[in-house]
Each structure stands twice: as structure tokens, then as C-alpha cells.
């Protein structure tokens, strides 16, 4: 069924039966969009509660109210996104994701669980992934330049050939993570747990590794030129 076709949640214009409570006045996703543009906050809130009935098209409509003037609307829009829809949102890029994350942090406590998500090859440059559970996720070949990923859990995460140049991963847990060939140049890696991580062939030029725990890590072939290793516990180089 097309996203523009009416479903059981819609009232059809010209129909003989009265519309059900909270039904859209127009068919399909067009009705949701129409109500989200209403000057009445209560109407926009009611439309949000039905948006997920329209899959990704509904999520696209919800994104349009991330900047809504009413705090209740913004909070409701942020709360709609569960793990699967958060992955869809993140793949749309940092600009949209970060708008959602502002509400997530300010109004909903900020926790994000993207564990075991497949985000390989995604462009996540400048994304705000701070204080997130990313354990076991697949970021192979992804662009995470200047991303904020501090105080996050990346245990046993696949980060092969990912670009973290200039990113902030301070105080994160990367134990057992696979960072082979990853670019971590100029990244903030202070107090990161790299125990048993695979950093072979990785680029750590001018990275800030102060107090990082690299015990048991594989650093064979890693480029550590210019890196700050003050008080770091090193593994095998």
C-alpha cells in the first residue's frame, strides 16, 4: 500500500460515516502532514501519536516538528523514536540527528541504545553520540570525523577503517573493539579503555591518549607519531 493511500486510521473526505476520534481529515500521510502544520498544539500532538502508522514516511513528517515552538510537541516528537527509527534517523545525517538529540538530552535524559546496529559506511561526521550504548555495532568504513562519542560504550564494536579524525571519544569503553586501519588522528582518546582492542594499522597521529588503557591492545603497525601518551598504559607495539 502506498504511504499516500488511506488506512484504517483515516477518515475519507466525502464518506457517509462520521470520522473516528483522532482520525486524519485527509487520507494517508497527507492528513498527518496537514495536522502537523496546524496552529493548534493539541492538533499537532494528536497527529504525532498516529504518525508511526505510516512507517518511514511518518517519521519524515515527525522530523519537521523538531523545531516546534511548543515544548510538549518537541518532547513527544523526540520520544517517538525507538531504536529502529533512531537508526533510520541517524542515517539521514548529523544535522537532523543532532536536532533530535538536543530534545533527547534536554527532555528525555539523553540515553541512546544503538547496540548491534548496522551503520557501516554511514556519513556520521559531527554526529552527537555522547553517552550512548554502541556495543557490538557495525561502523566499518563509516565517517565519524569530529563526532562527539565521549563517555560511550563501544565494547566489541566493529570500527574497521572508520574515520574518527578529530573525534572526541574520551572516557569511552572500546575494550575488545576492532579498530584495524581506523583513522584516529588528532582524536581525543583521553582515559579511553582500549583493553584487548585491535588497533593494528590504525592511524593515531597527534591523538590525545593521556591516561588511556591500552593493556593487551594490538598496536602492530599503528602510526603513533606525535601522539600524547602521557600516563597511558601501553600494550604491544
What pLDDT digit, counting tens, does each position of 63-116 carry?
Answer: 999 989 999 999 899 888 888 899 999 999 999 999 999 888 887 677 899 999
C-alpha span between 73 and 54 (Å, rounded): 19
> Domain 111-237: what homologous superfamily?
E3 ubiquitin-protein ligase SopA (2.160.20.80)
CB-CB contact of 210 with 228 (8 Å): yes
Model confidence band, residue 174 (pLDDT cutoffs 50, 70, 90)? very high
* pLDDT value, residue 104: 85
- Record the cell numbers describing residue 53, joined without a space: 502508522
pLDDT exceeds cutoff 80 at 51: yes
Tell me the angle at which helices 83-90 and 94-107 cross, rounded to the nearest 10 degrees: 140
What are the extents of the domains in the chain? 1-92, 111-237
Tell me the CA distances in angstroms from 127 to 64, 96, 114, 140, one per residue in order.
19, 9, 14, 16
Amino acid at each position: 500500500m502506498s504511504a499516500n493511500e488511506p488506512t484504517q486510521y483515516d477518515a475519507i473526505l466525502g464518506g457517509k460515516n462520521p470520522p473516528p476520534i483522532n482520525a486524519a481529515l485527509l487520507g494517508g500521510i497527507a492528513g498527518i502532514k496537514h495536522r502537523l502544520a496546524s496552529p493548534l498544539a493539541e492538533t499537532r500532538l494528536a497527529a504525532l501519536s498516529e504518525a508511526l502508522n505510516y512507517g518511514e514516511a511518518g517519521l519524515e513528517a515527525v522530523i519537521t516538528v523538531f523545531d516546534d515552538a511548543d515544548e510538549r510537541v518537541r518532547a513527544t516528537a523526540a520520544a517517538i523514536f525507538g531504536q529502529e527509527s533512531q537508526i533510520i534517523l541517524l542515517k539521514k545525517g548529523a544535522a537532523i540527528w543532532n536536532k533530535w538529540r538536543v530534545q533527547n538530552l534536554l527532555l528525555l535524559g539523553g540515553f541512546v541504545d544503538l547496540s548491534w546496529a548496522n551503520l557501516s559506511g554511514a556519513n556520521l561526521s559531527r554526529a552527537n553520540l555522547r553517552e550512548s550504548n554502541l556495543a557490538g555495532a557495525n561502523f566499518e568504513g563509516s565517517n565519524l570525523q569530529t563526532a562527539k562519542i565521549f563517555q560511550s560504550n563501544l565494547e566489541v564494536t566493529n570500527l574497521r577503517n572508520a574515520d574518527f579524525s578529530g573525534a572526541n571519544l574520551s572516557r569511552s569503553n572500546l575494550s575488545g573493539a576492532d579498530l584495524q586501519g581506523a583513522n584516529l588522528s588528532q582524536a581525543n582518546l583521553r582515559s579511553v579503555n582500549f583493553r584487548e582492542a585491535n588497533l593494528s594499522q590504525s592511524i593515531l597521529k597527534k591523538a590525545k591518549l593521556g591516561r588511556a588503557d591500552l593493556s593487551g591492545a594490538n598496536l602492530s603497525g599503528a602510526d603513533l607519531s606525535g601522539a600524547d601518551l602521557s600516563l597511558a598504559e601501553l600494550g604491544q607495539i
